[in-house]
Structure 1
Amino acid sequence: MPESATYALDTRGERMDALEQYFREAARELREPGLALDADPDAVHRFLHLPAVRLQQHMLTPARYARHDDVLPSFVPAEASCAEWILAAEWLAYGDPGMTLASPGPALSTVVLRALADEAQQDWFFGRTSDWPTWAFFALTEPEKGSAATELTARLDADPSGEGWVLSGEKMYIGNGAHARVGVVFCRRATGPWGIEAVMVDTGDPGFHAETLPIIGLRGARISRLRFDGMRIPPERVLGRHRPRSRRGLQGALQAMLWFRPSVAAFALGVGRAACDYVLEQRPALAGAGRAEVDGMIDRLNRLRRLLRDVAAEIDAGSPNTFRVSGVKMRAARLAEDATLLAARLLGPASLVEHPWLDKAYRDVRAFEFMEGTGNIHRRGVFQGLLRDDYFTSRDRDVRPGRVAEGVV
């Protein structure tokens, strides 16, 4: 896709508009490949030439490791801000969320590396993920424990040889885990929250085992189960080893969640908007109550979009409101499901049979409820924010009483 003067703009507002225009165009190429990936998750190798498939690797890689080529225009940023990434994630999911999650790159691990790694550790990790194509994984979730960071059972024990560590345990529901070259694994070295560590692993080392799990939606993510059988971890691969224990593994997990929850919300928002547009494309003469329902859903999604961008701006400014992050993620997952339910109802009883894309979207969006915490967990977060009077911004409080919570919680 050629770079044009349309994109070569300097001011931040204009640059974001230019990025959105580019992401919108790139996402158009993902719809058909997404259907192919739903049938065969390994088909991603047939589409590595698409600019949209290159975006994750480029935007989530620190600038000094990014490898520029002619596939992406020069104005697409490496080491993207949260606001830039959620804009890309929304449009990529509008095209196809499975293709985005299947794309090579450092994925969520980049946030942990930014937070904890020293320069040598970043060289080790990003020196590998900058090769094309290379996948990485982020492994926090465990069988029977979910993503509760303080309840980890994967262990990091001292190596009997007296040098380094040994990693043992299992991880569950890890995107691209069975196909990655490197990854970040959260484990426990000692009791208590400060006993949590994050370590970098090379999947070619002895003791690493992985299998892809059968799933119904988002098949391109190639969700995996990982097992570590006495895998040796050299001391230099323990992230944050130069930091106090209180600012190591757990802090990295929290930073990753802070970024990934808005990302999941952006994925959900993109699919929800795509479902509404799909209905209007298939039934351009839709009128009456049906059209009113679609317009109402579009309004709700647009309000969510504003809130999501506010949350991303707060994260980039270094003043994130974790309660609002929870609220936006929870609301986005619910709206995405509502949008596909509405589309299926308006397109008729056989819509999921007659419209393969809608059938896929209908299945895909159910995953967002479970990614980065279920709705119940986030409702508790919102409730805690309301109790502390620390949920709404001053702008929200200026809204007339009775309408503040509409579209926010």
Structure 2
Amino acid sequence: MPETVRSATSHGPRPRGEWTDALEHFLREAARDLRAPGAALDADPDAVHRFLHLPAVRLQQHMLTPARYARDEDLLPRYVPAEASCAEWILAAEWLAYGDPGMTLASPGPALSTAVLRALADDAQRDWFFTRTSDWPTWAFFALTEPAKGSAATELTARLDAAPGGDGWVLTGEKMYIGNGAHARVGVVFCRRAPGPWGIEAVMVDTADPGFHAETLPLVGLRGARISRLRFDGVYIPPERVLGRHRPRSRRGLQGALQAMLWFRPSVAAFALGVGRAACDYVLEQRPALAGAGRAEVDGLLDRSRRLRRLLHEVAAEIDAGSPNTFRVSGVKMRAACLAEDATMLAARLLGPASLIEHPWLDKVYRDVRAFEFMEGTGNIHRRGVFQGLLRDDYFTPRDRDDRPGRAVEGVI
């Protein structure tokens, strides 16, 4: 009997070998189509509308949409899963970022909101949200970060107050650095209904509702993400749009934010890993005769990427199994962001002092990868997480603690 993988879709488990080989081959080919569109988005982020026909652009919406709402069965191969597991999605994210991370983040789809809906929504709420995001093309946003507060979920100031007459709620406040926020049709917003951690709620917002305002922020890199500032001036929220309203207060808004971060941090690591590998391969394409210390440095980075990729897939498997290790998630995200920066700096150095002028693609990714340090927590936050895991002896799995030389160290670095 062939080895199978855990699947989040209604199609059941898929054979591991057949699934990974076919899907990875498709992703590798699809990623090649993203380089030129990525350059166009760097000049004009709204140029994404010119590339909506590409299979790679369809992937995010299809893979992050529950199978019952997916509408791309005739446009994508059968082995491209809807309602992807974390392991399936990070495989796609790595290859798509290898093509172009900005184009991937610019693509339509429910994005990170999917993780919150999975954790908190009832059937009616899923219908409300995914029937809108399954229309092509439709963007959605995930709004947690606030001006002067960052993504500290327990310090939110956006308010959810009772509407006059007691029927529903009114949303007031601001959100900052929200991907595709100014171009989305719907989104999930985290806000505060009462003091304390259990007073946090997650609500679904229709951007056509009165009181919603958004603007795109100017960016130096990763312009395709169309990072936005959002303002809510008394946006009315019907009772049925409060996610998790059927759950206890201790298992509502904050839990949704944590579930989303569990998914998004490995995704950011996959993006960073894909771009880092692309930078190394680009150097070898431009300088095929590279030897000596320069070749050794490139080979060292590629070796780091292979080790990190294995750790990333282990982390994703733990998330899919329902036993995530948040400390390991932090470690992988932190190291992947460092690898991407190291790879682009090495590429710039090995290709010469004018490399960022002579190689427009390298100039673009050199700017793009700096965003990964700030997405889903900066390095100092994740270093603290790794330290806490080591201090509590919760970082390594039993297999990591065996006597094989270097195994434990590899899990951190």
Amino acid at match of 1:32: A
CA–CA distance in structure 1, aligned partners of residues 331 and 409 of structure 2:
11
Preserved contact between residue 105 and residue 136 of structure 1 (Cα < 8 Å): yes
The one of 324, 341, 347 equivalent to 2:345 is 341
State how far apart, in whole Å, the 2-side matches of 1:218 and 1:89 are. 15
The equivalent residue for 1:158 is 162
Q: Distance in 2 between matches of 1:403 and 1:375?
A: 23
1:72 partnered with 2:72: no
The alignment partner of 2:399 has SS state of helix
**Any unmatched runs of 5+ in structure 2?**
1-12
Give the alignment partner of residue 251 of structure 1, picking from 248, 255, 276.
Answer: 255
Q: Pairwise CA RMSD of aligned residues? A: 1.1
1:377 aligns with 2:381: yes
Name the SS for the 1:404 alignment partner. helix
Mapped pair 1:113 → 2:127: no
The alignment-based identity, stated in percent, is 89
Q: Counterpart of 2:359?
A: 355
**1:49 equivalent in structure 2:** 53
Residue 344 of structure 1: SS of its match in structure 2? helix
Is 1:22 the counterpart of 2:26 in the alignment?
A: yes
In the alignment, the residues of structure 2 paired with residue 397 and residue 285 of structure 1 have an alpha-carbon distance, to the nearest angstrom, of: 41
Match of 1:138 in 2: 142
TM-score by length of 1: 0.97
Q: Does the 8 Å CA contact 2:217/2:226 hold for their aligned counterparts?
A: yes
Alignment of 1:217-236 (within 5 A): 217-236=221-240
Alpha-carbon distance in 2 for matches of 1:162, 1:321: 41
Is 1:206 equivalent to 2:210 in the alignment?
Answer: yes
Q: Name the residue aligned to 1:91.
A: 95
Q: Report the AA paired with residue 305 of structure 1.
A: R
Distance 1:406 1:346 in 2: 27
What whole-Å deviation, never above 9, does each CA across 1:113-165 have from its counterpart, x for those lacking one?
01000000000000000000000000000000000000000000000122000
5+ unaligned residues in a row in structure 1: which ranges?
1-8
Deviation string for 1:252-308 (max 9, x for gaps)? 000000000000000000000000000000000001111011001100011000000
Alignment-derived partner of residue 60 in structure 1: 64
Alignment partner of 1:292 is 2:296: yes
| Equivalent of residue 185 in structure 1, options 177, 189, 193 | 189
C-alpha deviation, 1:397, in angstroms: 1.3
Q: Distance in 2 between matches of 1:176 and 1:284?
A: 39
Question: 1:263 maps to what in 2?
Answer: 267
Cα distance in structure 2, aligned partners of 1:188 and 1:400: 49
Name the CA distance, whole Å, in 2 between partners of 1:283 and 1:53. Answer: 31
Distance 1:341 1:310, change over 3 A: same
Larger mean CA deviation between 64-73 and 377-386 belongs to 64-73
**Distance (whole Å) between structure 2 residues aligned to residue 77 and residue 43 of structure 1:** 27
Q: What TM-score does the superposition give when structure 2 sets the normalisation length? A: 0.96
Q: Distance in 1 between matches of 2:14 and 2:182?
A: 41
Instruction: Give the conservation status (yes or no) of the 8 Å contact 2:279–2:362.
Output: yes
Letter in 2 for 1:142: E
**Which amino acid counterpart does residue 360 of structure 1 have in structure 2?**
K
**Offset of residue 68 of structure 1:** 2.7
- Are the equivalent residues in 1 in contact too, given 2:400–2:411 (CA < 8 A)? no
* Secondary structure of the structure 1 residue equivalent to 2:324: coil
Q: Distance in 2 between matches of 1:125 and 1:367?
A: 28
Look up the match of 2:6: none
Q: CA contact under 8 A between 2:143 and 2:178: conserved in structure 1?
A: yes
Tell me the distance in 2 between the aligned counterparts of 1:305 and 1:285: 27
